[in-house]
């Protein structure tokens, strides 16, 4: 398995049988500037969305049209994407699991909002914010938390799914900050690896993962902080 951070909360996950983008925010993403969008989207089979904010939906409509990838989103967001011309859609909601050929995706809870003011100037309610719990055949399991604050039922997510890898928002202001994110990981999860995200993009959120890294000192979890465009192999 290869995981590439594409800035903010966008990730590319490559397995033996799938090439997945999560929250593919490329256009307008300051952290993605200078990166190659075509390379990031090469051969993608699936696009998975945690919620409806523009910095997570990102380039989904265009990428889905160009690639033919299947898009997974909560039911309200999926319906809206369908109205925008996305053809291959799978929808679900909190607690539900969708099975693909080589992996499953479960919508977990997240404490966040999900509406979006679009080009028509209208605020669209796009369902609940979620995390995404991914289980693969013979490869590590991944929890992308989406955008969220800490909450005690994270312990239930860990009990139910036992994720190996956590992708954790740490930027503060719109999500939990680094110190609180570290508390969430240490108290409620038993990740083998943790990858921080949702930082270093817009100037009003934290620019470095230092608070998270410091908060995770002494943990059994290995914290990994790739540069934008950098990859990790598992």
What would the DSSP string read from start to end of 37-63?
HHHHTTT--EEE-S---HHHHTTHHHH
Query: pLDDT tens digit string along 173-204?
Result: 999 999 999 999 999 999 999 999 999 999 99
3-state secondary structure of 184: helix
- Considering the chain, what is the average pLDDT of its residues? 97
Answer whether residue 231 is part of any domain: no
Q: For the whole model, what pTM was predicted?
A: 0.97
**pLDDT value of position 201:** 98
Answer whether residue 233 is part of any domain: no
Answer whether residue 147 is part of any domain: yes
Strand partners for 119: none
**pLDDT value of position 121:** 81
* Both tokens assigned to 231: 């990859």
Answer whether residue 109 is part of any domain: yes
Answer whether residue 234 is part of any domain: no
3-state secondary structure of 32: helix
Q: Please report, to the nearest 10 degrees, the dihedral formed by the alpha carbons of residues 60, 224, 163, 69 taken in order.
A: 20
Range with lowest mean pLDDT among 85-99, 109-123, 166-180, 182-196: 109-123
Give the burial string for 185-203 (b: 16+ CB within 10 Å, else e).
bbebbebebbbbbbbbbbe
What is the number of domains present in the chain?
Answer: 1
Answer whether residue 232 is part of any domain: no
- The CATH number given to whatever domain includes residue 160 is 3.60.15.10
Answer whether residue 170 is part of any domain: yes
Give the burial string for 127-149 (b: 16+ CB within 10 Å, else e).
bbbbbbbbbbeebbbbbbbbbbe
Answer whether residue 148 is part of any domain: yes
**pLDDT value of position 123:** 87
Enclosing domain of residue 222: 2-226
């Amino acid at each position: 398995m290869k995981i590439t951070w594409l800035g903010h909360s966008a990730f590319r996950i490559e397995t033996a049988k799938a090439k997945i983008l999560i929250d593919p925010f490329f256009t307008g993403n300051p952290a993605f500037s200078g990166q190659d969008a075509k390379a990031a989207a090469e051969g993608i089979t699936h696009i998975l969305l945690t919620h409806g904010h523009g910095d997570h939906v990102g380039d989904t409509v265009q990428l889905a049209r160009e690639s033919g990838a299947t898009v997974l989103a909560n039911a309200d967001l999926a319906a809206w994407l369908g109205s925008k011309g996305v053809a291959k859609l799978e929808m679900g909601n909190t607690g539900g699991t969708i099975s693909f050929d080589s992996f499953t995706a479960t919508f977990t809870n997240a404490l966040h909002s999900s509406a979006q003011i679009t080009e028509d100037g209208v605020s669209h309610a796009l369902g609940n914010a979620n995390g995404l719990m991914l289980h693969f055949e013979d490869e590590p399991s991944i929890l992308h938390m989406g955008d969220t604050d800490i909450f005690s039922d994270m312990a239930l997510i860990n009990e139910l799914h036992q994720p190996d890898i956590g992708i954790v928002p740490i930027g503060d202001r719109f999500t939990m900050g680094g110190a609180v994110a570290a508390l969430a990981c240490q108290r409620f999860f038993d990740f083998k690896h943790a990858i921080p995200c949702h930082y270093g993009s817009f100037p009003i959120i934290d620019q470095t993962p230092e608070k998270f890294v410091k908060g995770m000192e002494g943990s059994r979890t290995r914290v990994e902080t790739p540069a934008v465009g950098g990859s990790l192999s598992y």
